Amino acid sequence: DIQMTQSPSSLSASIGDRVTITCQTSQDITNYLNWYQHKPGKAPKLLIYDASSLERGVPSRFSGSGSGTDFTFTISSLQPEDIATYYCQQHDDYPITFGQGTRLEIK
Amino acid sequence: EVRLIESGGGLVKPGGSLRLSCAASGFSFSAHDMNWVRQAPGKGLEWVSSISSSSRHIYYADSVKGRFTVSRDNAKGSLFLQLNSLRAEDTAVYFCVRHYGGGLGTFDYWGQGSLVTVSS
């Protein structure tokens, strides 16, 4: 199985801050890495697919980069509505696996 | 508008069974692979199962293999998950999820989820 190491597990930041989350995989997955936002009681939402492609309708302050085993997710300017848990997910091989999640809070 | 609506969750005793359903609308259901993803209370997301558009290819997480069975009815736009030999650790919200694009699982639409509680 492909192991996912996502960090940090929690993060406190101020409105307007630049926020970065990292995800490392246990083997090369080329660019088969997605990022999701999940708010309590809601359905998870796809933000970034294939490492760096912005899903339609998602604000441009969200971005992703990386390839191989190391990936980064960035919010360029944190907004109040961005409070959520964020997950990375690999879809290079079965079983499909998610990172442990990063809980983002407002400082 | 794409809609995925799960049903069939509830309280069941350990060792019991349950069948989840997902009614899909707003897109060509028969053209998309579909998935189930779950989230246990206080835990992260866990992929459970994938089924290809034609049902030819089916995959399961090791944690449910041999106990859960995924199926679909393309004529009715429905996805199913049969849960047998349920354990306390299967307690979770189960999401019906559409696969989009290349790779094995880019999940672009999710249902609101159906809660399964396994308890005596």
pLDDT, average across residues A10-35 = 97
Q: Per-residue pLDDT tens for B45-71?
A: 999 999 999 999 999 999 999 999 999
CB contact under 8 A, B44 and A49: no
pLDDT category, A1, cuts 50, 70, 90?
very high
pLDDT category, B105, cuts 50, 70, 90?
confident
Measured between CA atoms, the residue of chain A closest to residue B100 is A49
Whether residue B61 contacts residue B54, with contact meaning beta carbons closer than 8 Å, is answered with no
CB contact under 8 A, A45 and B59: no
pLDDT, average across residues B7-20 = 98
φ, ψ (nearest 5 deg) of residue A86: -115, 140
Residue B31 scores a pLDDT above 90: yes
Kindly report the average pLDDT of chain A as a whole number. Answer: 97
- Rounded CA-CA distance B52/A85 in Å is 29
CB contact under 8 A, B45 and A34: no
Pairing state between β A10-13 and A102-106? parallel
Nearest to A91 among B44, B46, B106 (CB): B106
Residue B102 scores a pLDDT above 80: no
Size of interface A-B (CB pairs under 8 A): 67
Nearest to A46 among B37, B50, B107 (CB): B107
Q: Does A58 touch chain B (CB under 8 A)?
A: no
Whether residue B112 contacts residue B6, with contact meaning beta carbons closer than 8 Å, is answered with yes
Q: Per-residue pLDDT tens for A42-90?
A: 999 999 999 999 999 999 999 999 999 999 999 999 999 999 999 999 9
Kindly report the average pLDDT of chain B as a whole number. Answer: 96
pLDDT category, A91, cuts 50, 70, 90?
very high
Measured between CA atoms, the residue of chain A closest to residue B105 is A91
**Burial, B115: exposed, middle or buried (Cβ in 10 Å; 0-12, 13-18, 19+)?**
middle
